[in-house]
Amino acid sequence: MTDVFGLSHKDTSPVSGQTKHEQVVFCSDERSGLHAIIAVYNTALGPSLGGTRFYPYGSEQAALADVLNLSRAMAYKNALAGLDLGGGKAVIIGDPATDKSEALLRAYGRFVQSLGGRYFTACDVGTYSEDMDIVARESSYVTGRTLANGGAGDSSILTAYGVFQGMRAAAEHVHGTSTLRGRRVGVEGVGKVGHRLVDHLVEDGAEVVICDVDEQAVERVRRRHPQVEVVADQLALTSLDIDVYAPCALGGALDDETVARLRAGIVCGGANNQLAHPGVEKELADRGILYAPDYVVNSGGVIQVADEIHGFDMDRAKAKATKIYDTTLKIFVAAAEEGVPPAVAADRLAERRMSEVGRIRGIWLGR
C-alpha cells in the first residue's frame, strides 16, 4: 500500500496540491480484483463530484498522482460551472477491457456508498453509463447513468454545447460579435465532443476544417457536412490560416512548437489539460492568442451529469451550460484587468468562489 504522506517527501513532481486534499481512500476487494483510489479534494461548495477513470496504470504511485491531480481539477471546474459541488475523482487500477466485471463494479459501488455522500461518481476514461448503472446498484451517489435508469446519458452533448458557448464568448471578446459566421475554425478530434461541436459551428455559419486519426470519425462528419474540409493531422491543422483552433482530442495539444506555429487568434476546445506544461498560457498570451481555459469551456458535461442528482432535466441543464458564455467572457475581462493570462484569471475566480461561498457554511444554524 502506498504511503500517501510519505509520497510528499519522496516525489512531489507529479502530484500538485496533494497536501490540500481532504480525504484519500484506498479501496480493495481481493476476490473481484478491485483496486481503486477515491480522492476528495474539497467539499467547500458541497459534496465532491468527479468521474471514475478505469485505466491500466503502471504503478499505484502513478494512479495516486493522477487521482490527486484530477480531483483538484474537478474542484476548480465545478466551482466555475456554478455548481454547489466540491471536487473529487476516483481511479480503478486495471484494464477495463479484461478486468471489468459486475462484481468489481459493485464492490467499487459499496466503497462509494461508504463515504456517505461526500463523493458522487460519474463516467470517465474507461467507464460508461452502463457501468454507472451497475455501480448504482450498490450506491446512491452515482451520476452519469443511462437515460433508461433516470440518468443524464451521454455528457458529450452539453460538453460540445458549452465549448460552443465559450467560443462565442471568445469571438465577442476578440471581434466584438459573438457569431462564428464566416470564421474558419479548425477542430482537432471529431469524436463524441468534436463532431457535435462541428454541428454547432456549421449551424452558426462557420467554415470548418477537421482532422482525426480515426477514418470512421472523419467519415461520420463528412456524411453530415460534405462541405467540411479534412486535413491530415494536427500539424497540418495548426499550420493553416484559421481564426480558431479547437483541440478536442487528447490532452497536451498546446506545446511550445504548436503555440509558435499557430496562426489562430483564439484557442477554444473540449479537450482536458490542453496546456502541455505550466508557462504555455503565458506563451499564448505573449503571441496575442486568446486561450479559453479548457476546464471552463468543457464544463457542460459535468453540468449535465450533476443535474441528475436532482432528477435529470435536459432543459434545466442546458440553461446552466448556456452560462458558460458569461463565465468565459468574465474571465477574459478579469484577465485583461489584472494583466494575467485567462488561465490564471480562471483559477483566481474559482478560488474566490470556493473561499467566499464555502465560508458561509460556517454560519451557525442552531443544530
Ligand X SMILES: NC(=O)c1ccc[n+]([C@@H]2O[C@H](COP(=O)([O-])OP(=O)(O)OC[C@H]3O[C@@H](n4cnc5c(N)ncnc54)[C@H](O)[C@@H]3O)[C@@H](O)[C@H]2O)c1
**Which residues bind to ligand X, rule: CB under 6 A?**
155-156, 159, 188-194, 211-214, 217, 234, 248-251, 270-272, 298, 301
CA-based end-to-end distance of the chain: 39
- Print the SS3 string covering 225-260: CCCCEECCCHHHHHHCCCCEEEECCCCCCECHHHHH
- Least distance in angstroms from the C-beta of 170 to ligand X: 17
Residue 122 CB, nearest distance to ligand X (Å)?
10
Task: Pick the closer one to ligand X by CB: 188 or 243.
Answer: 188
φ/ψ of residue 337, rounded to 5? -65, -40
Minimum distance of ligand X from residue 237's CB (angstroms): 8
What is the spatial distance between Cα 45 and Cα 358, in angstroms, rounded to a whole number?
5
Nearer to ligand X, 111 or 164 (CB): 164
Between 53 and 106, name the residue whose CB sits nearer to ligand X: 53
Shorter beta-carbon distance to ligand X: residue 215 or 315: 215
Give CA–CA dist 32/110, Å, rounded.
Answer: 13
Taking the CB of residue 333, how many other CB atoms lie within 10 A of it?
13
Question: How would you label 309-321 residue by residue, b for 16+ Cβ within 10 Å and e otherwise?
Answer: beebeeeebbebb
CB of 183 to ligand X, least distance (A): 21
By the 8 A CB rule, do 70 and 108 touch?
no
Q: How far is the CB of 218 from ligand X (least distance, A)?
A: 8
Q: Annotated catalytic residue: which of 77, 89, 100, 320? A: 89
Our answer to whether residue 77 is catalytic in this structure is: no
Q: Residue with C-alpha cell 467560443?
A: 167
Residue 98: count other Cβ atoms within 10 Å of its Cβ: 9
- Nearest by Cα to 264 from 277, 246, 282: 246
The residue sitting closest to ligand X, measured at its beta carbon, is 191
107/327 with CB nearer ligand X: 327
Q: Among all residues, which ones are annotated catalytic?
A: 89
